Amino acid sequence: MPGRESPDQWIIRGNHHDAWVSGAQDPISGLVAMLEEARSIGRLAETGWQPRRTLVYAAWDAEEPGLLGSTEWAEHHAPDLREKAVLYINTDSNGRGFLSVRGSHTLERFVNQVGRDVTDPKQKITVLQRALVRKLADDPSDALVDSESGLKIAALGSGSDYSPFLKHLGIPSLNLSYSGESSGGSYHSCYDSFDHYSRFGDPDFEYGVTLAKTTGRLTLRAANAEVLPFDFTNLARTVATYVEEIIQLADSMRESTVRLNRNIREGNLKAAANPAQTYVPPAPLSPVPFLNFSPLQNAVAQLQESARLYRKTLDSVLSGQLSNSIREELNRLLMQTERLLTSERASRASLGTPT
């Protein structure tokens, strides 16, 4: 569906349609929510409405054997996608329970805003509030809860159709579902049937509707936003967390290496071994050196300050009126930010293009 003002900025919505067997939950529960979202937008278009940006809907084939359909499409359209893709939203499976979101941390604030506007069909509170209270009830110190910004989305690994978009092309991506109250045991088996899903997965199909309401809001708001809804304070905080984890990992490796070498030197490992079996103690490990993490820490501090200044400046600018030329240039820059987190050489090699 071409955009009325920015047709060369694409919001891509996708999920696969193939399954190992019947695939009622994986992937059809996520696919039907996407189809309902598309149908609703189609009805909206019948009134003469048109999105600011172009909407692209895709149902991928051959995900289960190795993400083949989405990867082939991303390879074929890589030049256009690098230039035009704004956001990719994926919904692989769905059940009932709590909002689960993984994705690009530049979209964390955006996801929280949408989560405040969708009502949980059972508890009649917002899906964001229900996700937060669930995490706090399980563990008050849960790392995915933040007192200021709300729900902290988890990082995306691989394993579904967002992979070629995020990992190779640097397109901000999200994967959403509802889960936590569905029964398990049917994954990738012949028991993943309509009968099982309608009895145990989402019997009233209420959370399928809720997923469509959630992703529909994300899709439409991204498509119609005057300025793309990327925020970098959450990204900077997440990167700072990663740096702290690396520093702690180096310290713990150093301490464990000292302990292991002491046990080898004092003969403790050999004394603890079964005398009826041949035992050869390991060779001592090289000491783990003290590393200088100050360049990383300084870079994180700079990233955090830049993110703070961007949000402050944007809030003040949006209180006025942006000219078309400034808005277009700002959105163009925002579209490219996630691309900067990828290796161009690795990306081109993985997508089969010359390096």
pLDDT (tens digit per residue) in 93-125: 999 999 999 999 999 999 999 999 999 999 999
Q: Directed axis angle between helix 108-115 and helix 206-224, to 10°? A: 130
Query: For position 354, what pLDDT does the model report?
Result: 43
User: What Cα–Cα distance (Å) separates residue 279 from each residue in 125, 282, 323?
Assistant: 61, 9, 75
Which tokens belong to 216?
């529909």
Cα(11)–Cα(91) distance, integer angstroms:
14
Rg (CA), the chain: 24
Query: For position 346, what pLDDT does the model report?
Result: 56
Is 63 catalytic? The answer is yes
Tens of pLDDT along 291-319? 999 999 999 999 999 999 999 988 877 76
Q: Which one, of 15, 10, 19, lies nearest residue 193 by Cα?
A: 19
198-227 mean pLDDT: 96
Which class in CATH covers the domain with range 6-224? Answer: alpha beta
Give the DSSP letter string of 123-184.
T-SBHHHHHHHHHHHH-TT-TTEETTTEEPPBPP-SSSTTHIIIIIT---EEEEEEEESS--
**pLDDT-derived band at 230, boundaries 50, 70, 90:** very high
Domain coordinates in residue numbering, the chain: 6-224, 233-321
Q: Which of 37, 63, 108, 338 is catalytic?
A: 63
Tens of pLDDT along 48-61? 999 999 999 999 99
**pTM for this model (two decimals):** 0.90
**pLDDT-derived band at 351, boundaries 50, 70, 90:** low
Query: For position 142, what pLDDT does the model report?
Result: 72
